Amino acid sequence: MNISKPLFITLLVALNSVPIYGVFQWGWQSFDLIFLYWLENLIIGAFMIMRIVIRRYSHPVEFALPIFLAPFFTVHYGMFCLGHGTFIIVLFGKGLTGDLAGMDIPEIIIPLIESRHLFWPAMALFAYQLIDWIRDISERGFGSDGIKELTTAPYRRIIILHITIIASGFALTTLDEPLTGLLLLILFKTGMDIYHWDKDEKAASKDKPAVMNEKIKQKIDAFLDDPKITVNGKEIRYNSFEELKASKHYNFMLSMLRMIGGAKQFNEIEAYVEQQAKQRQLK
């Protein structure tokens, strides 16, 4: 699914514009918008769990990533969302009436979605995350993120964004919820999404050539000239790279590299190794 940058940004703007209907049709106020954007935290977390679990598995050791990281991320990220959601309810939920007034996170989520017409706007945010994930898979393949990206990416994006959104909510409350202010909040959120997406795209582009620097190439060349692996402090030598490649130790090493560095970096390194190995066979 190859989507050009202008088309993707247009789609992002269109999906982020859905809350405008809520402002005009359902009389949304700052709390509704901020709670909707908090729901996006849950959506981002769900897709991050899918990114952790849905990967290319070529060695049993790679199952350690979803087995240990997925539960850890669920609990850690879940606690973050719980505290963030409670903070929003306490600060901006004073106008809630009826049973909603006495509810806390997470019991208030479903009733609020139903009573405040948040389902389709939340589905629009879900659609954006789904399209972004599919686009990422089509360009980089499954498991394109390493452990570092998987554990830091969600927090890096939402912390700054939601601090600013909450600050905007205070300003709107002080100004008695002007329509212009609500629309500006939606515009600001859309702009921040575009900014973070573009920043991530540029960072990915800058990282790509840095993967195969001369130092890494020299290490690979030395490795191919003298194929050996150290296992539990014991050095194991091989007569050729082909013999090493057929060993279980080599497959284990590749699996660890893919799991830690991510498929993007791994694919480039693997391609260089194969290229250099073939050149040595021809000599």
pLDDT digits (tens, 9 = 90+) for 208-241: 444 556 777 777 777 777 777 776 777 777 777 7
CA 266, CA 262: separation in Å to the nearest integer?
A: 6
How confident is the model at residue 126, as a pLDDT?
A: 92
The pLDDT of residue 209 is: 45
Q: What is the pTM of this model?
A: 0.73
The list of the chain residues with pLDDT below 70 reads 1-3, 58-59, 140-146, 148, 173, 176-178, 203-213, 231, 254-267, 269, 280-283
For helices 18-25 and 30-53, what crossing angle results, to 10°? 150
In the prediction, which pLDDT does 60 show? 74
Res 1: pLDDT: 52
**Pairs from 86-95 (Cβ < 8 Å, separation ≥ 24):** 87/166, 88/31, 88/34, 88/35, 88/38, 88/166, 91/166, 91/169, 91/170, 92/30, 92/31, 92/34, 92/35, 92/169, 92/173, 93/31, 95/29, 95/31
Residue 102, Cβ neighbours under 10 Å: how many? Answer: 9
